[in-house]
């Protein structure tokens, strides 16, 4: 596993290099893997976030961040406000001084299509049963039998 981690670290370094000095790169995972006594990898609740770019502090440690903080951080880097209906926060401790606009009530109420598919475009918007099961196996959804039945019923 140590070799796998080193390989992925090398790939991340190359990605940042190819993106160039003016690009901001954010890689985040809400979970990780831990080596168990049986020499197999297992789920670990703590994840990671890696930020690189001209407005990102070098070698700064971030404590208490969650995946909910990624979007407000990206919005702050773009000079855009986060929505009040979003639980996350911009990770300002990892960034050089930037102005963060006051929050807006919700991006869903802002004019425009917010990047959504237009009605009748043929793009699937529902979750498939397979995707729901995958999310459940990763621990994102509850595992009770009742929840599995409900998820399958709700899946389109």
Please write the tens of the pLDDT for every residue from 86-103: 889 999 999 998 889 999
Kindly state whether residue 115 falls inside one of the protein's structural domains: no
In this predicted structure, what is the pLDDT of residue 154? 61
What residues make up the domain containing 80?
1-107
Identify whether residues 81 and 139 lie together within a single domain: no
pLDDT at position 84 is 93
How remote is the C-alpha of 93 from its chain's centroid?
18
89 and 143 inside one domain: no
Domain assignment present for residue 60? The answer is yes
Q: Are 11 and 3 in contact (CB under 8 A)?
A: no
CA distance 151 to 111: 32
Answer yes or no: do 45 and 99 share one domain.
yes
Q: How many domains does the chain have?
A: 2
pLDDT of residue 75: 94
Identify the pLDDT of residue 10.
92
- What is the reported pTM? 0.65
Is residue 81 one of the residues assigned to a domain? yes
């Amino acid at each position: 596993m140590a070799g796998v981690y080193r390989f992925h670290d090398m790939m991340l370094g190359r990605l940042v290099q190819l993106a160039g000095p003016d690009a901001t790169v954010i890689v985040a995972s809400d979970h990780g893997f831990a080596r168990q006594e049986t020499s197999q990898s297992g789920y670990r609740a703590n994840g990671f976030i890696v930020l690189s770019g001209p407005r990102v502090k070098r070698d700064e440690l971030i404590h208490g961040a969650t995946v909910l903080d990624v979007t407000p951080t990206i919005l702050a880097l773009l000079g855009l406000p986060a929505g009040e209906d979003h639980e996350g926060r911009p990770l300002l401790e990892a960034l050089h001084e930037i102005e963060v606009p006051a929050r807006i009530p919700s991006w869903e109420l802002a004019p425009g299509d917010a990047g959504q598919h237009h009605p009748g475009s043929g793009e699937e918007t529902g979750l498939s049963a397979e995707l729901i099961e995958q999310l459940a196996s990763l621990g994102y959804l509850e595992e009770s039998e009742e929840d599995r039945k409900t998820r399958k019923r709700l899946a389109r």
